[in-house]
Structure 1
Amino acid sequence: MEKRRTAIVTGGASGLGLAVVNRFIEKGYAVTIVDVAEEKGSQIVHQLREQGAEAHFITGNVTDQEQARDMAKRAAEAMGSIHILVNAAGIIRRTPATEVKDTELMAVLQVNLHGSVFMCQAVQPYMEQAGEGAIVNFSSMLAHYGSENLLSYAASKGGIVQVTKSLAVSWAKYGIRVNAVSPGYIETPLSSGATQNPKFRERILSRTPQGRYGKPEEVAAVIDFLTSSEASFVTGVVLPIDGGLLAGDPMLYPPATPTA
């Protein structure tokens, strides 16, 4: 009989986090959503339970180290164990680099970077006790190339790359694997303002070899693989999910002239 799997997904009440939650629920996992959106998260859990799923919701602030430990404890008590952590909680701010204030920089770092570290620390004892665990952190394209007006966000996501590699090395001896994903341009309700802008759409898709935006379900599928036994020898990886964007620009050179 296959072992019952349990997962925590931060930021699981919307966007890519919710896509991951739905993917895990489809596989029969017990899932705990951690999010600041209490009303929305509670509604999602209620709906999932009505469908027969085992789902839990915890509202809390991942930027508080003690709260992170408490949330992991409550999740472990509710589900009986913690096999998987997906750190999808994140925020973004767009500000010219010379105008970034310390308050903005710290706010973005605290959610995206500190919050991920604190949640990793919080689940580690439960995974060590079980002798296994799989963590997936959210990095970004902005960890791999620069972009104007996104200094704080880029700093936080670049940090995630090194946190992921460091924890992968540190915790391999406990059977804990730590990987990260770097989603490209994915169509979600929150990103629609940018992705549906005609000029932005033309610019991004012209640079994307597959010529389209990604879907939340495609990101969730990759995370599902990384947290599964099929990826048992994969750790310390930062995997782009970007339709080939980081591979190169298809418009960099003109098409070759056919030869007779």
Structure 2
Amino acid sequence: MTTVGIVTGAGRGMGLACAQRLSTMVDVLLVADLDKDTIATAAETLTASGTATIEPVVVDISDAEGVAGLAARVAELGTLRAVAHVAGISPTMADWRRIFTVDLIGTALLARELRPLVTTGTATVCFASMAPILAGLSADETVAAILDDPLDENFLDALREALGPAIEDPGAAYSWAKYGVQRFVRREAVRIGPSGGRICSVSPGMIDTPQGRQEAQQHASMEALVARTPVGRTGRPEELAAVVAFALSDEASFLSGVDLLVDGGVCAAVRG
């Protein structure tokens, strides 16, 4: 039996760190990213350091046809064993519609296409964020119903109507999109459980990656959050990857439908 893994957003940062861990956990690892050159370079690095056969895939995670092709390739290669869905965009990278499309709709698209491949031992980790936890987000019945159906063709318009113009702020959109991811994995855990699969989300705090540094340059408040972090520093990509690797391993076989907050304790400091 050939075991297959997927890492999205694998070109750099936390995605590349996760791919480095998964490259020793499966026989074949599909590393996906939107940028052709970035993922090609990452694939070379992973081939030199891991034991899995590395196959780079250029895909936009919000493109249904591209995601379906990724799933089809998994089916050709073997048995789906592990998925680290890291791909996403942050508030400084796009407008509110694109943020929701990539971060939440893309997550639902990937899960939908991979669902028929789930079998005993399949495990998935989707990346959320500490942002909705810091913001204390809570959805009323109307908003929750919309968030829980991100593949509805009227999803974005319905959400804009329910939440009002404030949702057009990229920071607010990011928080709500990642809140949607946290909700999504709870529902997905129930869907794939009978097939033997597991799924969790991981919510990073402030991590020292190119994307994280870009956000910090635009938001001075992040420096204050680092100062309040009990661990006393930003996180490293490999620290997130270690948590993801555990959640995907057989040692975490009773772990499903939960969010794993990896933030150095800053949410405890701020919210507590």
Aligned partner (choices 15, 22, 37) of residue 39 of structure 1: 37
Aligned partner (choices 168, 171, 176) of residue 192 of structure 2: 171
Q: State yes or no: 1:151 paired with 2:168.
A: no
**Amino acid in the other structure paired with 2:226:** L
Distance in 1 separating the partners of 2:219 and 2:114: 43
Distance in 2 separating the partners of 1:192 and 1:240: 20
Query: Cα–Cα, structure 1 residues 205 and 44, in superposed 2: closer, same or farther, change >3 Å?
Result: closer
Q: Secondary structure of 1:85's match?
A: strand
Computing the radius of gyration over CA atoms, which structure comes out larger, 1 or 2? 1
TM-score, structure 1 length as denominator?
0.83
Distance in 2 separating the partners of 1:120 and 1:50: 30
Gap regions ≥5 residues in structure 1: 96-102, 253-260
Distance in 2 separating the partners of 1:60 and 1:67: 6
Superposition deviation, residue 198 in structure 1:
11
Does structure 2 retain, via aligned residues, the 8 Å contact 1:8–1:33?
yes
Aligned partner (choices 96, 102, 112) of residue 111 of structure 1: 102
Q: State yes or no: 1:230 paired with 2:251.
A: yes
RMSD between aligned residues? 2.6
Tell me what 1:140 maps to: 129
Superposition deviation, residue 45 in structure 1:
1.5
Q: State yes or no: 1:126 paired with 2:126.
A: no
Q: Secondary structure of 2:87's match?
A: coil
Does structure 1 retain, via aligned residues, the 8 Å contact 2:28–2:52?
yes
Distance in 2 separating the partners of 1:202 and 1:10: 28
Does structure 1 retain, via aligned residues, the 8 Å contact 2:104–2:181?
yes
Tell me what 2:19 maps to: 21
Q: State yes or no: 1:49 paired with 2:47.
A: yes
TM-score, structure 2 length as denominator?
0.79
Superposition deviation, residue 93 in structure 1:
2.3
Q: Secondary structure of 2:30's match?
A: strand
**Amino acid in the other structure paired with 2:89:** I
Q: Secondary structure of 1:32's match?
A: strand
Superposition deviation, residue 184 in structure 1:
0.2
Distance in 2 separating the partners of 1:6 and 1:135: 12
Tell me what 1:100 maps to: none
Does structure 2 retain, via aligned residues, the 8 Å contact 1:9–1:34?
yes
Does structure 2 retain, via aligned residues, the 8 Å contact 1:135–1:227?
yes
